[in-house]
Amino acid sequence: MNVLGFAAHSSREALVPYRFERRDPRADDVMIEILYCGVCHSDLHQVRNDWGGSCYPIVPGHEIIGRVVSVGPAVTRFKSGDQVGVGCMVDSCQSCEACDSGLEQYCEESATFTYNSVDRHDHTATYGGYSERIVVSDKFVLKIPDTLDLKGAAPLLCAGITTWSPLRHWKIGKGSKVAVIGLGGLGHMALKLAKALGAEVTLFTRSPEKAADARRLGADEIVLSTDPKQMTAVKRRFELIIDTIPSVHDLNPYLPSLAIDGTLVLVGYLGGLEPLLNTVPLIMGRKSVAGSVIGGIAETQEMLDFCGLHGITSDIEVIRIQDINEAYERMLKSDVKYRFVIDLASLKS
């Protein structure tokens, strides 16, 4: 199937229109017309090879909302016309301990990712949602509740599940005390979801001007992380801190604010930590620093259903695909509240 999308052909080149071949559908596949695709910071990292391992050409995009065009003969959960989503994964081994536990994101053989990956059956390259259509195994297609705005639902497929998964893993609920570090694409979803789960929610920020928006999004309190008095006032308070900062930063100022058995979980940054962690606050309180990435398919569907019940979507700015390179530059400057979403109808213009 010949498909039009936008691709980067090297780490130094802008994304441009690109025609490529999608694989032929298999018996358990769903063919999807892509309506909207969120723009994730990891798209930019992959395009510019910030993490290494990028294989060009890359068609990014793993926050995909679309409409089912057709299904294979083995598919029973979906039919033509259904509104569906595809997130960061399109397959996994389906047999390891992680996959058997519904944790496909931690597949021992590595999940097959939506783009910049290799199909485990026919060994073709995977291409993402900055395109007209996609073909995906039905096991990795998600149902989008009718109550959700489709444009605002797109970032739930990555930003939403990335923050939902630690909230569920650490059993956050009514009366829990949760803090979020950073107010961006991930941070604003963490505030919304934690608040809807019934938690008491605090935002750590270096920017006092973000206070009003943070409260609108669900924060009960805003703490300036550069103010020693405010940091002292929240000492030993939080059972969970979700750290959404995507770059190198010092974790040490936040550790004293963890309660006994509290956890600071990194969801935004991949790489080495600087400066080194001071272990004293960890040892003197059995505290932890952990990491988490997206969620399994069942957990992602749970998150979407929860968002459908509570009317939760991402705060977005809709763009044309032709404006994606400008959007990347704006994203680097944090000049978006809080997620870009591409209207794929613009591919036809």
Using one digit for the tens of pLDDT, what is the confidence trace for 153-182?
A: 999 999 999 999 999 999 999 999 999 999
Share of the chain above pLDDT 70, in %: 100
Using one digit for the tens of pLDDT, what is the confidence trace for 141-160?
A: 999 999 999 999 999 999 99
Using one digit for the tens of pLDDT, what is the confidence trace for 176-199?
A: 999 999 999 999 999 999 999 999
Using one digit for the tens of pLDDT, what is the confidence trace for 123-143?
A: 999 999 999 999 999 999 999
Amino acid at 319: I
Cα 185 to Cα 336: distance, rounded to the nearest angstrom: 9
Q: 52 exposed, middle or buried (CB, 10 Å; 0-12, 13-18, 19+)?
A: exposed
Q: Do domains 2-158+315-348 and 160-291 have the same CATH topology?
A: no
Structure tokens at 305: 């259903």
Neighbours of 108 (CB within 10 A): 12
CATH architecture group of domain 2-158+315-348: Alpha-Beta Complex (3.90)
Using one digit for the tens of pLDDT, what is the confidence trace for 37-94?
A: 999 999 999 999 999 999 999 999 999 999 999 999 999 999 999 999 999 999 999 9
Q: What residue ranges do the domains of the chain occupy? A: 2-158+315-348, 160-291
Calculate the CA 147 to chain-centre distance.
21
Cα 218 to Cα 28: distance, rounded to the nearest angstrom: 40
Contact 326, 340 (CB under 8 A): no
Cα 12 to Cα 170: distance, rounded to the nearest angstrom: 40
160-291 carries CATH number 3.40.50.80: no
Report pLDDT for 135. 98
Contact 72, 25 (CB under 8 A): yes
pLDDT tier at 349 (50, 70, 90 boundaries)? confident
Three-state SS annotation for the chain: CEEEEEEECCCCCCCEEEEEECCCCCCCEEEEEEEEEEECHHHHHHHCCCCCCCCCCECCCCCEEEEEEEECCCCCCCCCCCEEEECCEEECCCCCHHHHCCCHHHCCCCCEECCCCECCCCCCECCCCCECEEEEEHHHCEECCCCCCHHHHHHHHCHHHHHHHHHHHCCCCCCCEEEEECCCHHHHHHHHHHHHCCCEEEEEECCHHHHHHHHHHCCCEEEECCCHHHHHHCCCCEEEEEECCCCCCCCHHHHHHEEEEEEEEECCCCCCCCCCCCCHHHHCCCCEEEECCCCCHHHHHHHHHHHHHHCCCCCEEEEEHHHHHHHHHHHHCCCCCCEEEEEHHHHHC
**Average pLDDT, whole number, for the chain?**
97
Q: 54 exposed, middle or buried (CB, 10 Å; 0-12, 13-18, 19+)?
A: middle
Report pLDDT for 30. 98
Structure tokens at 9: 């052909």
Average pLDDT value for residue range 197-223: 97
Average pLDDT value for residue range 210-239: 97
- The radius of gyration of the chain from alpha carbons, rounded to an integer in Å, stands at 20
Share of the chain above pLDDT 90, in %: 97
Amino acid at 267: V
